[in-house]
Structure 1
Amino acid sequence: MTPPVFAHGHLRLYLLSLLAESGRGMHGYELIQALGDRFGGTYVPSAGTIYPRLGKLEEEGLVTKVADGRKTVYEITDAGRAELEARASELDGIENGVTDSVRRLADEVRSSVNDAMRSLRAELAAAAREAKAEARYTATVIPDNEHIESRTRLQEAEALLAEFRASVRSELRMRASRGDLTAETVAALREGLDAIRGRL
């Protein structure tokens, strides 16, 4: 089981530090983006994770919120800064934990990508073997005209597979280089391949 990114109570302290560093107020979405940036895109908290904690910080008088059009701006209070100062050593430990979490999450993403690429190669190899077997079969039992049409369709299918593999591989590498290749993307790829195989 994957351990949590933040230990209990650490995310709220980290939110305070982000607000203090900004030197200005931040929208909830900006805080989510800032956390995503700190983790290189390997961890992006949901609104359902961030907003309840901001609400709790407001209740404790550590942040204030002000309406800015349709958005809400959160600012750290003097009490919030005092808590940060009092827990400075703990915050240093959290920063070290974030670094470890980024490495761990990056390893998990890398492993997922490798698994997906192995699965894709296996699927393509299996499809090629099946196509060759089908071609051998049709050469012996299907009349010439149908045999020619079947081989034409086979060539078209193999070209599509090659184009798909190149396109997906390029997209996966580009996302991995940007740091936004998620485990969900890899899972969606695997599910899509399974669905295609199931329809053949």
Structure 2
Amino acid sequence: MSPVFSHGDLRLYILSLLAEAPRHGYDLMQALTERTGGTYSPSAGTIYPRLAKLEEEGLVTKTVDGRKTVYEITDAGRAEVTSREGDLEGIQAGLADSVRLIADEVRGSVRDAMRSLRADLAAASRDEREQADRAPAHDPRALSREQLHRADAAITEFRGRVRSELRSHVARGGELTASGVDAIESALQQASEAVARAVRG
């Protein structure tokens, strides 16, 4: 799920960013991505036509600085931002809600993957104990190698499921936020610790 700017909202948000400081087009795209926690990444085809329209309306001016074109808000542009402060606050609140929803979705996916991993580890541990009971006492290394192959297969399957979930999430229009990736890293650390405990028995 990615935030969608309503009609005119992106225009106003761009003006608010330019009210903070002059920016070039790429800088604006980066700022939008950062301010939305990575849930909205506009393309050049989205930003530059709106900048051209703002310039046409006398709300911004542009100057060429080397290879970059820098856009700066005019007094008329600042007046519009000031007059629409309430609208801007609503836009920012909506974007914050979208970022939280994305983070919740990612955390939910990671929790589901963790539950599946714990179940797989428990089953593998049971199977290992059962096979250890049946294995010849004189050949523990052969049994360990066999179980290592099973563990490798379980880990590969888990990795594939998680990657598939993340790729599907992005393909559906969602994007990963920094907090979402932090949650994933934390979950993987917990999984690593669970594996270590299972190995130690």
Same fold (TM over 0.5): yes
1:11 positional shift: 0.9
The equivalences for 1:20-99 within 5 A come to: 20-22=19-21, 25-39=22-36, 41-48=37-44, 49-77=46-74, 81-86=75-80, 88-99=82-93
Per the alignment, residue 106 of structure 1 pairs with: 100
CA–CA distance in 2 between the matches of 1:155 and 1:124? 17
1:12 positional shift: 0.9
Would you say 1:11 and 2:10 are equivalent positions?
yes
1:109 positional shift: 1.1
| Alignment deviations for residues 93-138 of structure 1 (CA, whole Å, 9 cap, x no partner) | 2223312320332133123213213213313422441453266357
1:154 positional shift: 3.0
CA contact (8 A) 1:67 1:73 kept: yes
Q: What is the SS of the residue equivalent to 1:154?
A: helix
Q: Which structure exhibits the higher relative contact order, with contacts defined as CA atoms closer than 8 Å and separated by 6 or more residues?
A: 2
CA contact (8 A) 1:57 1:63 kept: yes
- Tell me which of 99, 117, 125 is aligned to 2:111: 117
1:182 positional shift: 5.1
The amino acid that maps onto 2:105 is S
Extract unaligned runs of 5+ from structure 2.
Answer: 163-176, 188-201
CA–CA distance in 2 between the matches of 1:57 and 1:150? 71
**Identical aligned residues as a percent:** 38
In structure 2, the CA distance between the partners of 1:20 and 1:97, relative to structure 1 (3 Å rule), is closer
CA contact (8 A) 1:131 1:154 kept: no
The amino acid that maps onto 2:18 is L
Extract unaligned runs of 5+ from structure 1.
Answer: 169-178, 190-200
**TM-score, reference length from structure 1:** 0.60
